[in-house]
Amino acid sequence: MITLETIQEAHDRIRPFIHRTAVLTNQTINERAGAELFFKCENFQKIGAFKARGGLNAVLQVAQNKEGSAITTHSSGNHAQAVAFAARQVGVPAYIVMPRTAPQVKKEAVLGYGANVIECEPTLDAREAGVREVMARTGAVLVHPFDDDRVIAGQATAAKELIEDIGGDQPFDVILAPVGGGGLLSGTALSTHYLSPSTRVIAGEPEGAADAILSFKSGQVERAPYINTIADGLMTSLSERTLAIIRAHVTDILTVSDPEIVAAMRLIWERMKIIIEPSCAVPLAAVLKHKDKFAGQKIGIILTGGNVDLGKLPF
Amino acid sequence: MITLETIQEAHDRIRPFIHRTAVLTNQTINERAGAELFFKCENFQKIGAFKARGGLNAVLQVAQNKEGSAITTHSSGNHAQAVAFAARQVGVPAYIVMPRTAPQVKKEAVLGYGANVIECEPTLDAREAGVREVMARTGAVLVHPFDDDRVIAGQATAAKELIEDIGGDQPFDVILAPVGGGGLLSGTALSTHYLSPSTRVIAGEPEGAADAILSFKSGQVERAPYINTIADGLMTSLSERTLAIIRAHVTDILTVSDPEIVAAMRLIWERMKIIIEPSCAVPLAAVLKHKDKFAGQKIGIILTGGNVDLGKLPF
């Protein structure tokens, strides 16, 4: 059970290691949306993504409680960097299992934080086997990217800061986050539930990885009908843990197409002059697609990260 | 003569219309440079560039003093948008003379601010003739992109804010700005001279538009030996006015190649997650090229703008 106190303790624990990221606004985008948008810029966070928060909250506790002699996880994305970064802060070895097909630049980023990269075949089975092998060999503790209360409590601190900084005098009508495995969305929903109970939480999901909207409706963890989206951070499915929190505290999940995601991404790049990943643009794409749902409202949006390959841009 | 009071009055005049832009830092870039860098983010300024400052300071005075019934200028770049934006704030018609070869997106941006676009042949003669024709026909007043004390005093407010926000307890060792026509550099040098007299001002200039370094040495306005650079905002030559200020208050001009500019631009995009124009990257390229000159120092850098064509990136 993640309480308000859990989230407050997570924030106190990770605060020395993270940025309290800026909240930006843009007049043109407000006019385009017909609403008042506040963007929480986790693309400016350590390692370039909100994942630093959850990774730190878990790794700091593993180290403090001496739960293991090392940390491991499997990820080809921002969570890999987050765990490597966090492990370096506490001086514990990290073993990151990555598919051999992962971009070299991502492997180098993990190596740059002093972690070990264990290559495996690009399947979920091979990744999980790789982690089990590391755990058996090194005594490492697994820090899962989202199916972990400590990770969720860490991710919750982004919405906590957004509410504290901007939602004081006049609460947000809505806070939006994208949904992949549901760690950020769960944390966002919990912080909002505790700190701004009148605020709805709505998720954006790519049509090309639309599992969460099915699970949300059925109450079972469902698989996406197909996986094909530019939002490469959002391809994973929910877990029982994240689904339960999302069913309890999220109002709605809205899906958007890849062209809508790219258009929203381009709007943020061109107008706000900041670099965001495609996954980040999903909530804005949802707001622009469903203007009637958001007209005239005060809206918070978590911009999740800015780690893009400049050589492979969609425009 | 631009005094401290002139700059303070300019700041008071334009303050309601501009952003006090953020100053960002980045640990990785500091490590790479071996110095402590503070980036003044004018890419976040209105119209996406510092030029809003000078345009506003001139246009607001033209309107207040009823010097003419309209505003005109010739520009294919950020100054065109700055004048169009400023004219709209005061409700005065603007006529922007643009070469017919200018990108459609730039013409549309000017039209979007409600200004009139007058197309001309892409030569300096044709542009100047176009402006003369507009002045004769409409009674418009010319606001030159840099050869104008009111424009220079407006541009000076960027360095003024940087010094006020970051240069208080421990003054900057150096402030760097890029140099094209010299409006920003002149304003930066004057603000620094008045407000932080122990701070050196150094300019960065592309090798492919290297007129300022020649003029700085000879004391005459010189032409560049050749014009061929990705830094399209820095192709113009100094005027007598800007050269005089630069000779009086600038310590040095450092030139950098286009590959050095692109590498510095990419470093800022990848590490700071912000979008800057190639021209912006010239001072950082100079710092990275001449590390010995800057080692261990506190350095301010004006990032001038973020208006890039995402379809034509150099990486």
Written in H, E and C, the secondary structure of B176-189 is EEECCCCHHHHHHH
- Cα distance between residue B167 and residue B215, in whole Å: 30
Tell me what pLDDT residue A76 has.
79
Residues B225 and B108 in one domain: no
Nearest CA in chain B to A303: B273
CB atoms within 10 A of CB A315: 12
- The range of the structural domain enclosing residue B270 comes to 4-50+148-303
Is residue A309 domain-resident? no
Q: Which residues of B touch A39 (CB under 8 A)?
A: none
pLDDT digits (tens, 9 = 90+) for B246-285: 999 999 999 999 999 999 999 999 999 999 999 999 999 9
Q: What is the mean pLDDT of chain B?
A: 96
Cβ pairs bridging A and B (under 8 Å): 36
Count the Cβ atoms, other than its own, within 10 Å of residue B76: 19
Residues facing residue B105 across a β-bridge? none
Q: Is residue B278 part of a domain?
A: yes
What's the confidence (pLDDT) of residue B51? 98
CA distance A117 to A194: 38
Model pLDDT, residue A120: 95
Residues (pLDDT < 50) of chain A are: none
**ipTM score here?**
0.91
Query: How far apart are the C-alpha atoms of B285 and B61, rounded to whole Å?
Result: 36
User: Are B310 and A313 an interchain contact pair (Cβ–Cβ within 8 Å)?
Assistant: yes
Contact A310 B315 (CB under 8 A): yes
Beta bridge partners of residue A117, listed in sequence order: A96
A39 & A55 share domain: no
Mean pLDDT of B226-236: 93
Tokens 């906590």 belong to residue: A160
Q: Which runs of consecutive H residues, i.e. helices, occur in chain B?
A: 4-14, 27-33, 51-64, 78-90, 104-112, 124-138, 149-166, 183-195, 212-218, 240-249, 258-272, 282-289, 291-294
Dmax over Cα atoms in chain A, in whole Å? 56
For position B315, what pLDDT does the model report?
87
Q: Burial-class residue B170 by CB neighbours within 10 Å (0-12, 13-18, 19+).
A: exposed
Instruction: State which amino acid sits at residue B186.
Output: S
What is the Rg, in whole angstroms, of the alpha carbon atoms belonging to chain B? Answer: 18
On the question of pLDDT at B60 being above 90, the answer is: yes
In a domain, B170, yes or no: yes
CB B269 to CB A275 under 8 A?
Answer: yes
Indicate whether A228 and A89 sit together in one domain. no
Contact A73, A135 (CB under 8 A): no
Q: Per the domain annotation, does A37 fall within a domain?
A: yes
| pLDDT tens sequence across A125-166 | 999 999 999 999 999 999 999 999 999 999 999 999 999 999
Residue where a domain terminates, one of B124, B142, B160: B142
Which of A44, A269, A311 is facing B275, going by the closest CB pair? A269
A275/B275 touch (CB, cutoff 8 Å), yes or no: yes
Looking at the structure, tell me whether residues B190 and B284 fall in a common domain.
Answer: yes
- Give the predicted TM-score (pTM) of the model: 0.94
Nearest CA in chain A to B112: A28
Pick from B107, B142, B177: which residue ends a domain?
B142
What are the φ/ψ torsions at residue A306 (nearest 5 degrees)?
Answer: -135, 25
Among the three residues B109, B142, B175, which one is the final residue of a domain in this structure? B142
Q: What is the CA radius of gyration of chain A?
A: 18
Number of structural domains chain A divides into: 2
CATH number of the domain that residue B33 is part of: 3.40.50.1100
Q: Residue B4 has what DSSP assignment?
A: H
Contact status, residue B238 vs residue B182, Cβ threshold 8 Å: yes
Residues B163 and B176 in one domain: yes
Is A68 a member of any domain?
Answer: yes
Give the C-alpha separation, A31 to A39, whole Å: 15
Q: Residue B21's closest chain A neighbor by CA? A: A24
pLDDT tens by residue, A70-121: 999 998 789 999 999 999 999 999 999 999 988 888 899 899 999 999 999 9
Contact B274 A270 (CB under 8 A): no
- Asked if residue A280 and residue A160 are part of one domain, the reply reads yes
Whether the pLDDT of residue B226 is over 90: the answer is yes
Q: Give dist(CA B203, CA B187) in Å, integer.
A: 12
B157 plus B31 within the same structural domain: yes
Query: What kind and span of H or E run contains B256?
Result: strand B252-256
Residues B156 and B194 in one domain: yes
Burial (0-12, 13-18, 19+ Cβ within 10 Å), B16:
exposed
Query: Are B255 and B270 found together in one domain?
Result: yes
Backbone angles phi, psi at A124, to 5 degrees: -65, -40
Give contacts of A313 with chain B, Cβ < 8 Å. Answer: 310, 313
Q: Which residues of A touch B311 (CB under 8 A)?
A: 315
What contacts A1, CB < 8 A, 6 or more positions away? Answer: none
Give yes or no: residues B45 and B134 share one domain. no
Spatial contact of B107 and B117, defined as CB atoms under 8 Å apart: yes
CA B138 to chain centre: 28
Using the predicted structure, report yes or no on whether residue B312 has a pLDDT greater than 90: no
CA angle B8, B54, B191 (to 5 degrees): 40
| Sheet containing A23-24, strands listed edge to edge, beginning at the edge strand earlier in sequence | A23-24, A36-41, A298-303, A174-178, A200-206, A252-256
- Angle subtended by helix axes B183-195 and B149-166, to nearest 10: 50
Q: Which two tokens stand for residue A116?
A: 């070990």
Chain A contact set for B306 (CB, 8 A):
273
Q: What is the Cα–Cα distance from B95 to B117, expressed in whole angstroms? A: 6
Same domain, A156 and A256: yes
Measured N-to-C along each axis, helices A51-64 and A149-166 cross at an angle, to the nearest 10 degrees, of 130
- pLDDT for the residue A177: 98
Of A43, A270, A306, the CB nearest to B310: A270
Please indicate, yes or no, whether residues B39 and B169 belong to a single structural domain of this protein: yes
> DSSP assignment of chain A, as one string?
---HHHHHHHHHHHGGGS----EE--HHHHHHHTSEEEEEEGGGSGGGBTHHHHHHHHHHHHHHTT--SEEEEE-SSHHHHHHHHHHHHHT--EEEEEETTS-HHHHHHHHHTTPEEEEE-SSHHHHHHHHHHHHHHH-EEE--SSSSHHHHHHHHHHHHHHHHHHSSSS--SEEEEE-SSSHHHHHHHHHHHHH-TT-EEEEEEEGGGTTHHHHHHHSS----S----S-GGG-SPP-HHHHHHHHHH--EEEEE-HHHHHHHHHHHHHHH-B---GGGGHHHHHHHHTHHHHTT-EEEEEE-B----TTS---
A310 assigned to some structural domain: no
Which secondary-structure segment (H or E) carries B198? none
Question: What span, in angstroms and rounded, lies between the C-alpha atoms of B108 and B115?
Answer: 10
Q: How confident is the model at residue B167 (pLDDT cuts 50, 70, 90)?
A: very high
Q: Angle, to 10 degrees, between the axis of helix B4-14 and the axis of helix B183-195?
A: 110
Residue B262 forms part of a structural domain? yes
pLDDT score at A104: 83
Does residue B74 sit within a domain? yes
The pLDDT of residue B154 is 98
